[in-house]
Amino acid sequence: MKLLLVGASGLVGSHVLQRALADERISEVVAPVRRALAEHPKLFAPLVDFDQLPADAPWWQADAVICTLGTTMKLAGSREAFRRVDHDYPLAVAKPARQHGTPTYVLNSATRADAASRFFYNRVKGELERDLAACGFSSLTLVRPGLISGPRQAFRLGERVAEGILKTLGPLLPRSWRINPADNIAQALLEAAIAAQPGVHVVRSDMLV
């Protein structure tokens, strides 16, 4: 199958990419990025500007999309800029993919995604889930991790502190509060893309421990 992966340079996305390139069930990975990726015979990674995605590129037609795009409020610098990356870009990928016949979309969302939330981050994630559900994919999977662990190039103080606390408390915590390793999330994303079960499905954080 042919996989369209957005966010391939990120923590979870790079795990998805490694797994997909090694997986015999995947014949081709298209990974639009803003910075070049290492070459691989199964990989086509066009350089794109997510504000001006090419509407008619042939690579929109795939068997499934996996989206691991996202930023932080600190990196984005404003609520508007955060929303653009965490809501608008994933939708800007969904729409042409759907128009070109791609039937399946798998989203790396977040555990408290809720379009009615008082909290901006959770609300943006929930609005994205809601708006993706309206796109008409025959299979939509929302993978909702809690705190993600894995080797990150950029230092994120808040996440490091939370990771330290959650790791110390470890087994005392309910499964839904525990840290989710990036590779577990990547595996769940990839398996959902390959299985492409009809309907809307949620993978909770306690299933990613």
Ligand X SMILES: NC(=O)c1ccc[n+]([C@@H]2O[C@H](COP(=O)([O-])OP(=O)(O)OC[C@H]3O[C@@H](n4cnc5c(N)ncnc54)[C@H](OP(=O)(O)O)[C@@H]3O)[C@@H](O)[C@H]2O)c1
Task: State the residues that interact with ligand X by CB under 6 A.
Answer: 7, 9-13, 34-35, 50, 68-71, 85-86, 108, 110, 145, 147-148, 159
- Minimum CB distance to ligand X, residue 151 (Å): 10
- What is the C-alpha separation between 177 and 112, in angstroms, rounded? 11
Instruction: In angstroms, give the least distance from the CB of 172 to ligand X.
Output: 20
In the bound state, the residue with its beta carbon closest to ligand X is 10
Of residues 30 and 69, the one with the C-beta less far from ligand X:
69
Report in angstroms how near the CB of residue 135 gets to ligand X at its nearest: 17
Nearest to 11 by CA among 154, 191, 193: 154
Q: How near is the Cβ of 152 to ligand X at its closest, in Å?
A: 6
Nearer to ligand X by Cβ, of 24 and 29: the residue is: 29
43, HSE (Cβ side, Cα atoms, 13 Å) = 24
- At 94, which helix (H) or strand (E)? helix 89-99
Short-list 66, 108, 102, CA closest to 86: 108
Q: How far is the CB of 7 from ligand X (least distance, A)?
A: 4
User: Is-contact 31 8, C-beta < 8 A?
Assistant: yes
Q: Give the H/E segment covering residue 81.
A: helix 79-83
* CA distances to 10, 90, 96, 155 from 31, in Å: 12, 13, 15, 25
State which residue, 110 or 196, has the beta carbon closest to ligand X: 110
- In the bound state with ligand X, the residue whose beta carbon lies nearer, of 79 and 101, is 79
**Of 7 and 96, which has the nearer Cβ to ligand X?**
7
